[in-house]
Amino acid sequence: MPSGQNVVLPEAMMANQTPLFPWRLMSGGGGFGIRRKCLPQLELGSNGGRANAWFESMKASSPTHANAAAALASSPSVADQDEHPTWMVRHPSALSSFGEIIRASKRKQIVMFLDYDGTLSPIVDDPDRAFISDAMRDAVRDVARNFPTAIVSGRCRDKVYNFVRLAELYYAGSHGMDIKVPAKGPSFIRANAKPVLFQPASKFLPMIEEVYKSLIEATKSIPGAKVENNKFCLSVHFRCVDEKRWSALADLVKSMLKEYPKLKLTLGRKVLEIRPLIKWDKGKALEFLLESLGFADSSDVFPIYIGDDRTDEDAFKVLRDRGQGFGILVSKIPKETNASYSLHDPSEASLVERRRLSLESYPNL
Ligand SMILES: [Mg+2]
């Protein structure tokens, strides 16, 4: 694996001194079938292709743990069995590639970027209860002691902060449209770093609030649907909606947004996302944060981004295009990604594994 590219790992994050999220290795014949489907870029306003395109994409982007287990239990197609090793060659486990990653980052400033849902916390039925474990919080705290560390989430910034509760981190909420520097001043921030509160979509606030209220009313007809106000964007969670109603829910949301051409609808893991139609995403947020830290044109920075969702692909792509650092995809199922390494599942992280994977395990580094 060449250095300076994105990486996909099963569980883990690593830091110079301790791997952040040491996860179980994906290798070893797990039998995952590659998800070859490259999800269509579904956005309101496009013709959308087939009438059920949204439904199919909602299914494809929402593999439940149960579904994944069923997929593993069933016999994967010959093609999948043939392709799995190839996928793992292209996106090796970040855990097994730990030494390689550390070597690539040598003499460079690591900057950590972490998605929240599905990366630091499990995907649960109630998004308000997507709590981070104490062990994971400790791991993030350890990493933040050594490197500038940012949480980049589609959630409202305040809500993510209330989950994580680490004042020393950067927080980028609303898919990076709401960025705030840490309350504490980490010593590794360069002298030319600027304190910032960056909200590029502030003028959309009244519109977002209006759509939020309308969606709350409209989705009452769809049991299990949950609308979340993320300040500069909205989430319509369908993780608790009967699959038979997914098409109806997507149609409802699309229909409502026809009156708001300045908003766009995209798809995440078990969630429909409504965002301002501006050129801003997690990739832009990553670039903005690097600039704020004083690393805009630096060649000695090594950004690492860990995420599990389609919205994280924008950040993975930025790293790949910059040729700096790497992206790590957290996924139980191999799939198309711009990340370079992979991790399996954040829930497997443990302090014991973290200690086991400390640098003492890599005497030759
Ligand atoms: Mg996520």
Kindly report, residue by residue over 162-216, the tens digit of the pLDDT: 999 998 899 999 999 999 877 555 555 555 555 668 899 999 999 999 999 999 9
Same domain, 286 and 194: yes
Question: Alpha-carbon distance 99 to 36, whole Å?
Answer: 29
Nearest to 149 by CA among 333, 21, 9, 258: 21
> How far is the C-alpha of 346 from the C-alpha of 225, rounded, in Å?
26
The residue annotated as part of the active site, out of 115, 142, 308, 314, is 115
Last residue of a domain, one of 221, 252, 276: 276
Q: Are residues 178 and 135 in the same domain?
A: yes
Q: Which of 250, 276, 302 is the last residue of a domain?
A: 276
Digit-coded pLDDT (tens) for 28-47: 222 233 333 333 344 444 44
Q: What is the CATH number of the domain that holds 214?
A: 3.30.70.1020
Residue 74, CA distances (Å) to 60, 69, 315, 336 in order:
17, 9, 34, 21
Q: Give distance in angstroms: CA of 365 to centre of ligand 1.
A: 32
How confident is the model over 157-162, as a mean pLDDT?
A: 95
Distance 118 CA to ligand 1 centre (A): 5
- Answer for the pair 287, 324: CB distance below 8 angstroms, yes or no: no
For residues 126 and 271, state if they share a domain. no
Sheet with 341-343, edge to edge strand ranges: 197-198, 178-180, 170-173, 149-152, 109-114, 301-307, 326-330, 341-343
The answer as to whether 100 is a domain residue is yes
**C-alpha dihedral sign at 117, 169, 161, 314:** negative
Which pLDDT does position 243 carry in this prediction?
92
Q: Which of 99, 77, 18 is nearest to 349 (CA)?
A: 18
Ligand 1 centroid vs 153 CA: distance in angstroms? 7
Residue that is written with structure tokens 């898919």 in the block: 175
Q: Given 237, 256, 276, which residue is the final one in a domain? A: 276
Do the domain assignments include residue 79?
A: no
115 is catalytic: yes
Domain extent for 144? 86-199+280-361
Same domain, 258 and 308: no
Does 192 reside within a domain? yes
321 and 342 housed in the same domain: yes
CATH of the domain at 346: 3.40.50.1000
Is 170 within 8 Å of 147 (Cβ atoms)? no
CA of residue 108 to ligand 1 center, whole Å:
27
User: Is residue 219 assigned to a domain?
Assistant: yes
* DSSP assignment letter at 7: B
Q: How far is the CA of 152 from the centre of ligand 1 (A)?
A: 9
Q: Are 107 and 170 in a shared domain?
A: yes
Residues 74, 239, 62, 13: what is their CA dihedral angle, to the nearest 10 degrees? -100
**pLDDT tens digits for 267-306?**
888 899 999 999 999 999 999 999 888 888 888 899 999 9
Total domains, the chain: 2
Quote the ligand 1 centre to 215 CA distance (angstroms). 23
Q: Which of 280, 274, 336, 283 is nearest to 8 (CA)?
A: 336
* Model confidence band, residue 75 (pLDDT cutoffs 50, 70, 90): very low
The answer as to whether 5 is a domain residue is no
What confidence score (pLDDT) does residue 195 get?
A: 60
Residue identified by tokens 């840490």 is 182
Does residue 27 lie in a domain region?
no
In a domain, 99, yes or no: yes
CA-nearest of 184, 190, 176 to 109 is 190
- pLDDT tens-place string over residues 212-266: 999 999 999 999 999 999 999 999 999 899 999 999 999 999 999 999 999 999 8
- How far is ligand 1, taken at its centre, from the CA of residue 78, in Å? 30
Does residue 193 share a domain with residue 107? yes
CA of 330 to the centre of ligand 1 (A): 9
Residue 124 has pLDDT above 50, yes or no: yes
Residues 6+ apart with CB under 8 A from 220: none
* 218 and 346 together in one domain: no
Q: Which residues are in the CB-under-5-Å shell of ion ligand 1?
A: 115, 117-118, 308-309
Per-residue model confidence as pLDDT tens digits over 87-115? 778 888 887 777 788 788 888 998 999 99
Distance CA 269, CA 309 (A): 6
Pair 192, 223 in one domain: no
CA 58 to ligand 1 centroid distance, Å:
15
Whether residue 269 is contained in a domain is answered as yes
Q: What are 320-335's pLDDT values in tens digits?
A: 999 999 999 988 788 8
120, 140 Cβ separation under 8 angstroms: yes
Alpha-carbon distance of 284 to 305, in angstroms, equals 13
Are 164 and 214 in a shared domain? no
d(CA 361, CA 365): 9
Token pair for 80: 């999948």
Extended beta strands in the chain, E state: 109-114, 149-152, 170-173, 178-180, 197-198, 226-229, 234-237, 263-268, 271-276, 301-307, 326-330, 341-343
Do 239 and 312 fall into the same domain? no
Residues 237 and 260 in one domain: yes
